[in-house]
Amino acid sequence: MINRATPQSAVTLHDIYLARARIAGQAVRTPLVKSVSLSERFEAEVYLKLETLQPSGAFKLRGALNAIAALDEATLERGVTTASTGNHGRAVAWAASRLGARAIICVSGLVPANKVAAIEALGAEVRTVGRSQDDAFVEARRLVAEEGMTLIEPFDDPLIVAGQGTIGLELMEDVPELDRVLIGLSGGGLLGGIGRAVRGINPRVRVTGVSMMYGAAMIESLANGHPVEVEEVETLADSLGGGIGLDNRCTWSLVREVMSDHHQVSERAIAAAMVHFLEVEKMLVEGAAVVGLAALEEHAIDIRGEKVALIVSGNGVDMATWQRARGMTDT
């Protein structure tokens, strides 16, 4: 088992294979489908990794299952908690219900109502605290200190990183000659895990991170040379919100190691990508799931002749957010 107290270098390719064995039969091996429209548009082979088809609706289920399945019975009985912008909370609720643990999910007031409802539908208690994920974390840590619950980190945990890294194993098995993968970047668990996996198998794969234009904590932290706080702002890519923790011990250094390049995208570009996914790919997905396409379009990234994967990370979009995105493309 991964030692949670060790640095990120302990998250090895072997650990990711162990995670795959641990979550087998619960998390889905999601399909990787070729987009005909995007392949023609960019003169490349463009594939969509459909994490929207996980039982919880997003990739977060992999890491949550890996972390909760590693707990002993006595710890499970005391319950689990976390702070979340939505998808991680839903994943923890789903995994806890399957493994027989009570779950309390702490969220901020910025989390959309549809994501709160989805968490509650899985039997977890939701507590709304403050206006940022950092505020929600205060309550989660109180539950750990005062009620003995176990904190399931959204991203900054080797077990979470290893769980998300199983996506990378599937990518390399399905497209062994993969040239590039574009991944939404927030706390770094998804990019760090996938990056560790794909570059552990083939160091030549380019790992491209994508963030929204404002409130991108990981990018600000990398630019400053250490974790920093940023103000959270409303964005179509709400799943990419939140800080990385001033005491970050895992993902900040891992992202710095495995990420090849990075792009920030505007709200208008995210909106246009969401509209493309619904109208052309016939998929209703959240803003964070389309930032890879937004980056290809807005930054004119030259991928001609490449085999490229876009991580379609989740489907947690409400109609108000979708209508806001549609409105941006109509002006």
Q: Which of 56, 211, 239, 313 is catalytic?
A: 313
Q: Give the neighbor-by-neighbor strand order of the sheet with 125-128.
A: 125-128, 103-107, 80-84, 150-151
CB atoms within 10 A of CB 25: 8
Sign of CA dihedral 156, 8, 207, 221: positive
State yes or no: is 313 an active-site residue: yes
For the chain, how many residues are written?
331
HSE, CB side, 13 Å, CA atoms: give it for residue 163: 33
Pairing of strands 45-50, 32-34: antiparallel
Strand partners, 80: 103, 150
State yes or no: is 239 an active-site residue: no
Q: Beta-strand (E) ranges in the chain?
A: 32-34, 45-50, 80-84, 103-107, 125-128, 150-151, 180-184, 206-212, 261-265, 307-312
Pairing of strands 45-50, 80-84: unpaired
Whole-angstrom Cα distance, residue 10 to residue 8? 5
Q: Which of 49, 60, 115, 307 is catalytic?
A: 60
CB 235 within 8 A of CB 267: yes
Which residues form the catalytic set? 60, 313
